[in-house]
C-alpha cells in the first residue's frame, strides 16, 4: 500500500488468549424491581492479549458469506458471536486501549504519579462486549454488500436504518495529519469502523494527493496524484531540485 493511501487493508487488532460468555443482570434504575439480562463476552484473563495484523478484505468476505442463524435462535447467535470474537478479537477493544494510552500520556505531563498500562487496566477493566455487537455488524455488512452489488435493493425503511447504522460506525473514523510526510490519514478506532469504511469506499482506493493533499478515489492502489496537472507540477519541482 502506498504512503498516500488513506485506507489500509491491514488492521492491527488486539486479541485475548481466551474469552468467556456469560449472562449478567443489572437493575433498571428507572423501573422498580425490574432486572435487565445481558449476554456479555469478556476476556478470561485481563492481561493475556497480543497485537496482531488481520486483513480487512478477507474479514469482509467471511462476514458477507456467513450463513446466519434464525433470528430467534439466540443460542446459535451467541455461539457465532463468541466464535468471531475468538477469531478476530473484540470489535471495540482498540478504542479502549487508545483511550487508556491517551489518559496515561496526559497524566505523565500533569501528574508525577501516573499509572502503568496494566495498573490502569486493573483499575478500569474492559467491560466486554454484548453478543449483539457482532450480530449488528454482520447484518449491516451483508445488507450493504447486497445493496452495492444491486442483488437486493433495500426498501425505504431498510435504507433508513442502514444509513443510520453506517453513520454510527463511521463516527469511529478520524482524519489525522502526518507533519513529517505532509499527508492525511484516516484512523479507525475500532475493527467495526474499519470494516464499514472499507465497504462504503466501494472497493476503491481513497488516496491523498502527493502534490496538493486533496483527497481522491482511484481504481489503482499505486496512484500518487489526483490529476495529471499535479503530477506534472511534482515532476517539475523535482527537476528544479536536481538542477
Residue 195 domain flag: no
What's the gap between Cα 242 and its chain centre?
43
207, part of any domain:
no
**Rounded-to-integer distance, Cα 66 and Cα 63, Å:** 5
Give the integer Cα–Cα distance in Å for 42 and 22. 8
Tell me, what's the pLDDT at 112?
83
Any domain includes 230: no
Rg, the chain, Cα only? 22
Which residues share a beta bridge with 218? Answer: 205
Q: Is residue 63 part of a domain?
A: yes
For residue 73, give its domain range: 11-173
For residue 77, tell me if it sits in a domain.
Answer: yes
Taking all residues of the chain, what is their mean pLDDT, rounded to a whole number? 84
Q: Are 84 and 134 in contact (CB under 8 A)?
A: yes
The total number of structural domains that make up the chain: 1
Looking at residues 207-212, what average pLDDT do you find? Answer: 78
Return the DSSP state at 5: B
More confident call, 15 vs 37: 15
Q: Which residues does 203 contact at the CB level (< 8 Å), separation at least 6?
A: none
The residue-averaged pLDDT of 9-33 equals 82
In a domain, 186, yes or no: no
Read off the DSSP letter of residue 224: -
**Inside any domain, residue 214:** no
3-class SS at 20? strand
Q: Is residue 178 part of a domain?
A: no
What value does the mean pLDDT take over residues 78-88?
A: 96
pTM over 0.85: no
CA–CA gap between residue 173 and residue 21 (Å, rounded): 29
pLDDT band at 100 (very low <50, low <70, confident <90, very high): very high
**Residue whose C-alpha is closest to residue 133's, from 50, 5, 40, 58:** 40
Q: Report the pLDDT value the prediction gives residue 136, as an integer from 0 to 100.
A: 95
pLDDT for 190-203, tens place per residue?
999 999 998 887 65
Amino acid at each position: 500500500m502506498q504512503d498516500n493511501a488513506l485506507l489500509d487493508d491491514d488492521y492491527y487488532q488486539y486479541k485475548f488468549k481466551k474469552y468467556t460468555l456469560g449472562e449478567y443482570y443489572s437493575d433498571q434504575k428507572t423501573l422498580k424491581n425490574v432486572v435487565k439480562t445481558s449476554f456479555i463476552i469478556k476476556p478470561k484473563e485481563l492481561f493475556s492479549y497480543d497485537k496482531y495484523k488481520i486483513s480487512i478484505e478477507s474479514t469482509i468476505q467471511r462476514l458477507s458469506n456467513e450463513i446466519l442463524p434464525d433470528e430467534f435462535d439466540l443460542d446459535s447467535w451467541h455461539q457465532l458471536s463468541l466464535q468471531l470474537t475468538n477469531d478476530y478479537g473484540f470489535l471495540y477493544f482498540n478504542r479502549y486501549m487508545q483511550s487508556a494510552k491517551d489518559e496515561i500520556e496526559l497524566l505523565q505531563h500533569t501528574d508525577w504519579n501516573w499509572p502503568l498500562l496494566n495498573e490502569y487496566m486493573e483499575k478500569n477493566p474492559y467491560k466486554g462486549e454484548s453478543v449483539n455487537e457482532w450480530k449488528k455488524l454482520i447484518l449491516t455488512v451483508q445488507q450493504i454488500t447486497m445493496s452495492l452489488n444491486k442483488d437486493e435493493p433495500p426498501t425505504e425503511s431498510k435504507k433508513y436504518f442502514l444509513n443510520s447504522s453506517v453513520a454510527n460506525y463511521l463516527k469511529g473514523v478520524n482524519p489525522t495529519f502526518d507533519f513529517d510526510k505532509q499527508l492525511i490519514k484516516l484512523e479507525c478506532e475500532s475493527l467495526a469502523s474499519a470494516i464499514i469504511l472499507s465497504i462504503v469506499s466501494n472497493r476503491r482506493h481513497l488516496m491523498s494527493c502527493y502534490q496538493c493533499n486533496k483527497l481522491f478515489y482511484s481504481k489503482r492502489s499505486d496512484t500518487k496524484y489526483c490529476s495529471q496537472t499535479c503530477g506534472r507540477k511534482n515532476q517539475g519541482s523535482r527537476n528544479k531540485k536536481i538542477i
